[in-house]
Amino acid sequence: MIPRAITAAPVCAVDPLIERCRAIGVPTWRFDAGGTVVQEPDAAGVLGVWLRSADMVQRIRARVMSWTSQDEPDVEELLPGCWLLPVPEFRRRRRIGFTVGVAFGPEVVEQANFREMCLAAAVDPAVTRRSLLAIARFTRGEAERLLMMLRWSSQDLQAFAKGETAVESLTTQLSDAYETLITLYSIGQQMNTLSEPAGFIEHLLRKTRETLEFGWAGVTLTSPGELRGSGSANPIFVSGNTGCDEASLRDAFATLGERLELGQTDMASPEDGLPESLGAQIISHALRRENKAIGLIAAGSKGGIDPQISSYETLLLEAAAGFLSSFLDNVELYAAQHRTFLGTIKAMTAAIDAKDRYTRGHSDRVARLSAELAREAGLDAAQVERVHLSGLVHDVGKIGVPERVLCKNGRLTPEEFDLIKLHPEIGYKILSQIPALDDLLPGVLHHHERWEGGGYPYGIAGEDIPRMARIICVADTFDAMSSTRSYRPAMPRQRVLDEIRNCAGTQFDPELAECFLRLDLSFYDAMVAEHARDEGDAFSLAA
């Protein structure tokens, strides 16, 4: 791989020198190291014709050839009143030719061969003489000092041009570095969106592609330890246009994965059996988690000023791959943590349900009913999720209620009912030990409060009761009335709904009761059927 080519054209130091010579009446030639004319003087009129004549060029060239063996040729008199000023031209410390200034003194036109030279050049001697005298103002001593000035000027111009070139390339590098920094910054900022991995991957691909001017960039995730997987289950993400259908893209990624099994980064081309539409160069990088391959990131069809993939692109793609690997790690950890969290909650609800077979599935159903009601009441997705979780654990305090009371056949005594009424506070005490469940506590503590007051444990009323609790209260009562209990059979659906309607404003928040009556309860019936089947299975297992 090659470093990025410097796109800035080298700044030419010779043109300004020629400009300066012209301004002080010194025509110039440029010769390369072999004595070939590179540039003639651009003087107008007969003077120009005379200067550019074959005779004149031949005379000057003969002197230039003699300089090639000299370190620093001095002022050279071509004829009296005509001095050649050799200014060496360098590139990379090597002399590559001369810029030759010609300084004239007035005596040049008095020379015997001046007329001859004019005739040889087919110009009128009198007119040429007049034109020449306008610029023929130097003496030999002045010509010598002028050569020194021109050499210094040339050195300064070359140093300046070198500086300009350095500044140009530094500016290019700086702007590249800035783009890279902004890209990495923007990718880094998005790294906390763990609940939406696809959004992050798309953002990363788009930013990488835009910054490096790739036509497309893509990611595929394979099963751990596997890079060449092309199965349709492996997710593929692409930004930009690959010009490929999904099947050929999968094949291409499989080919890239195979190549990557040996190393971290790979550069491939259509000759390696990849579709032409992916570009002349395709760069890819393996994604790894704890040394196991989990996928790859690739990009191609590079455009922009420099369509070659350089170390600059390689470096940024490596960085993007690093970000992505670490992000996927975090996604996996987050998902595992969430599974543990849900598992803990399920375990708790299972513990409650196990105590009373009549309430089996109750927590699940209340949770689902509460969530549907919360959604119907206009809560956002995050709030609905919290209501759902609170619904799952709302009765966890029943663990602390004696089984003989909980499962008693027939009416409870007032003392027994007092024991039942402790369950919201017991639940609160149990769950308040877990910081992550803090926001579920209001639903647990207050789901037996009544809208008009007089419920338990605190007897608070109206909007003093947290909304989460008011929601769970409706759902809980609905499920209780709809289920068979140890002391009574299930009530028919219509009677239950009438009861909800009748208790709006007394037991229930009237707005929530109204929302509840709008719910399509087919999901609930399905859950009841499923729980009944589970129960049947449990009984048949026991039998």
Which residues make up the interface to another protein (CB under 8 A)?
1-3, 6, 92-93, 162-163, 165-167, 169-170, 173, 265, 311-312, 314-315
CB 482 within 8 A of CB 369: no
Q: Which two tokens stand for residue 455?
A: 């419920």
Q: Could you tell me which residues come within 8 angstroms of residue 401 by beta carbon, excluding any fewer than 6 positions away?
A: 419, 420, 422, 423, 426
Task: Tell me the closest approach of the beta carbon of residue 184 to another protein, in angstroms.
Answer: 14
From CA 478, how far away is CA 512, in angstroms rounded? Answer: 13
Neighbour tally for 402: CB within 10 Å: 12
Task: Tell me the closest approach of the beta carbon of residue 268 to another protein, in angstroms.
Answer: 14
CB 438 within 8 A of CB 394: no
From CA 135, how far away is CA 116, in angstroms rounded? Answer: 20
What is the CA 367 to chain-centroid distance, rounded?
Answer: 39
CB 502 within 8 A of CB 464: no
CB nearer another protein, residue 200 or residue 312 = 312
CB nearer another protein, residue 314 or residue 432 = 314
Task: Tell me the closest approach of the beta carbon of residue 158 to another protein, in angstroms.
Answer: 12
CB nearer another protein, residue 248 or residue 314 = 314
Tell me the one-letter amino acid at 233: A
Task: Tell me the closest approach of the beta carbon of residue 295 to another protein, in angstroms.
Answer: 22
- Diameter over CA atoms, the chain: 145
CB nearer another protein, residue 166 or residue 526 = 166
From CA 102, how far away is CA 157, in angstroms rounded? Answer: 20
Task: Tell me the closest approach of the beta carbon of residue 93 to another protein, in angstroms.
Answer: 6
CB nearer another protein, residue 138 or residue 312 = 312
Task: Tell me the closest approach of the beta carbon of residue 323 to another protein, in angstroms.
Answer: 18
- In the sheet that holds 236-240, the strands lie side by side as 236-240, 214-221, 292-302, 282-289, 265-268
CA distances from 45 to 42, 52, 116, 131 (A): 10, 11, 19, 9
Task: Tell me the closest approach of the beta carbon of residue 288 to another protein, in angstroms.
Answer: 19
CA distances from 316 to 15, 128, 181, 534 (A): 40, 66, 10, 55
CB nearer another protein, residue 91 or residue 357 = 91
Task: Tell me the closest approach of the beta carbon of residue 122 to another protein, in angstroms.
Answer: 46
Task: Tell me the closest approach of the beta carbon of residue 166 to another protein, in angstroms.
Answer: 4
CB nearer another protein, residue 194 or residue 319 = 319
From CA 279, how far away is CA 284, in angstroms rounded? Answer: 13
CB nearer another protein, residue 169 or residue 193 = 169
What are the start-end ranges of the E strands in 388-471?
A: none
CB nearer another protein, residue 3 or residue 435 = 3
CB nearer another protein, residue 39 or residue 165 = 165
Neighbour tally for 328: CB within 10 Å: 21
Task: Tell me the closest approach of the beta carbon of residue 88 to another protein, in angstroms.
Answer: 17
CB nearer another protein, residue 167 or residue 490 = 167
What is the CA 34 to chain-centroid distance, rounded?
Answer: 54
Alpha helices in 219-280 (DSSP H): 246-260
Q: CB pairs under 8 A, 24+ apart, for 120-129?
A: 120/53, 120/55, 121/49, 121/50, 121/53, 121/54, 121/55, 121/56, 122/49, 122/53, 123/46, 123/49, 123/50, 123/53, 124/46, 127/45, 127/46, 128/46, 128/47, 128/50
Task: Tell me the closest approach of the beta carbon of residue 287 to another protein, in angstroms.
Answer: 20
From CA 281, how far away is CA 339, in angstroms rounded? Answer: 42
